[in-house]
Amino acid sequence: MPGCGKSSIGRRLAARLGLPFVDADTEIEAAAGLPITEIFTRYGEPHFRDGERRVIARLLAGPPLVLATGGGAFTDARTRAAVARSGAVAVWLRCTLPVLLRRVAGREHRPLFLNRDPREVLERLMTARHPTFAEANVTVDCTDEPPETTTRKVMEALAAHREPARLPVRLGARSYDVLVGQGLLARAGALLAPVLPARRLVVVTDAAVAPLHLPRLLAGLAEAGIAVAATITVPPGEASKCFAELERVVTEALAAGADRRTAVLALGGGVVGDLAGFAAAVALRGLPFIQVPTTLLAQVDSSVGGKTGINLALGKNLVGAFHQPQIVLADTDVLATLPPRELRAGYAEVAKHGLLQGALWSWCEAEGARAVAGDPAALAHAVLESCRLKAGVVAADEREESAEGGRALLNLGHTFGHALEAERGFDGTLLHGEAVAVGLGLAAALSARLGHSSQELPGRVISHLQECGLPARIGDIPGGFSAARLLARMRKDKKVRDGAMRFVLLRGPGDAFTTAEVPAAAVESLLRDEGCGA
């Protein structure tokens, strides 16, 4: 904003960093051979902004420097995109109105303030510019302090700044990024604005997540001028993935005025993501969708890949759609609020990815206990590497259409796990991740029984999961199961082809495959040996 001190701070910052300082306005005047006021008068603002963008892009393509742009430069979408592409760090010097008024006193002769009330001018500019200024990488609040103090604050903010890891999911026109890092909820508006068709959305969350994370998300959205048409809260738990809640979410979103440019944002775990994503897929034949996962399970698995859906009494995820998000924000800070049981359940999907990838399984055996204990660095690594694996698999086989392998490999442990969940009626007594953990143990055991893997693999998988506090055998789940009923559930699984059950099996960590060549008798025998009744 005028009066924020960007030139004086920029010069001091450049001196501290040992870099040249450049004022974009000076460069533009030199290139045009005219003062900026005359460029505006002769050719108009669109012509000026086009030239400004080219000058800034040229400067950013050169050697490192500290660049102070004109106040309106960052409000131009193409200029912001050029700054982002260059890898530059954009810093917003944010001042309050009283501070700016004191600093612009005596500038009434300048074109911006000529014959105008400075307060009115500044209020209008703040309303127009602040939402886009919020997209800067770093924001430093400035007061009536000496320039050296502000410069020190900028230096400290730059030293502390960490951009989130950005993993692309390459799907042509439906490509998007998965962002993994700390503090993303507070910056949600800045991170989402570049991918939203309109600065307007509907938030879907659940009653457990809302008190913990919704206020921070809403504040981050408001800072970037993103309006929330409605906040829809569903009950926590798998039971919310049903037609009744789907109808309610769609109805409330449309009643709030959602149109085809209004995005649906899922703030929560896998249940909220699946339900909100399916609502986005079917409302008005498709609304933009954003994933902001708050559980480890959702961050490492369900938020990436575009699978959405609800459950039937017959089984899990039997009604749904592929509907890719515009972006995924995985804020690893929120994992500190998870109950230990939820954290352990999410880790089951990390272990699954480890078995699929190989090297990640070695990391799991060495460091997985740290992740389950809540170590931030271990959790960040688990999320990042799981998303990296899944992004690659989804890009290669988005809709799980490969005849063998492909995206279906991500169902390792899930044929067993979904059957176990369905038998418990999705009542919360068996979490999805816990069912997957048991499924991983059963898949490893079945692989060894059929001669595909070493005989020591099941013990290795089961021991690791149990050491991390997860159930890994049917006997670890309270209550009994019927082998016949579990087999009946598996025969209704969505992965069944031509009436044949399909399983993901292992030859070893990093070597998984899909097959229908599994005798039902072998599965039944395994289930009976694991303690299931008839």
List, by residue number, the catalytic residues. Answer: 285, 307, 349, 390, 400, 407, 411, 414, 418, 432
Please check if 110 is assigned to a binding site.
yes
* Helix, coil or strand: residue 521: helix
Contact assessment for residue 469 and residue 437, using Cβ atoms and an 8 Å cutoff: no
Please check if 432 is assigned to a binding site.
yes
For strand 227-234 and strand 263-268, is the pairing parallel, antiparallel, or unpaired?
unpaired
Please check if 494 is assigned to a binding site.
no
Please check if 25 is assigned to a binding site.
yes
User: Which DSSP state fits 48?
Assistant: H
Please check if 274 is assigned to a binding site.
yes
Structure token pair of residue 306 = 């575009």
Phi-psi region of 237 (alpha: psi -120 to 50; beta: other; left: phi over 0): left
Please check if 127 is assigned to a binding site.
no
Please check if 496 is assigned to a binding site.
no
Query: Residue for token digits 């991918």?
Result: 195
For strand 289-293 and strand 327-331, is the pairing parallel, antiparallel, or unpaired?
parallel
Beta sheet of 227-234, edge-to-edge order = 165-169, 176-181, 327-331, 289-293, 263-268, 200-206, 227-234
User: Which DSSP state fits 479?
Assistant: S
Please check if 129 is assigned to a binding site.
yes
Please check if 294 is assigned to a binding site.
yes
Distance from the first to the final alpha carbon of the chain: 74
Please check if 8 is assigned to a binding site.
yes
Please check if 271 is assigned to a binding site.
yes
Please check if 316 is assigned to a binding site.
yes
Please check if 5 is assigned to a binding site.
yes
Helix axis angle, 432-449 to 457-467, nearest 10°: 160
Please check if 295 is assigned to a binding site.
yes
* Helix, coil or strand: residue 181: strand
Please check if 307 is assigned to a binding site.
yes
Helix ranges (DSSP H) in 134-288:
147-160, 188-192, 210-223, 243-255, 270-282
Annotated binding-site ranges for Zn(2+):
349, 414, 432
Residues contributing to the annotated binding site for substrate: 25, 49, 71, 129
As annotated, the binding site for ATP includes 3-8, 110
Annotated binding-site ranges: 3-8, 25, 49, 71, 110, 129, 270-274, 294-295, 307, 316, 349, 414, 432
Binding residues for NAD(+): 270-274, 294-295, 307, 316
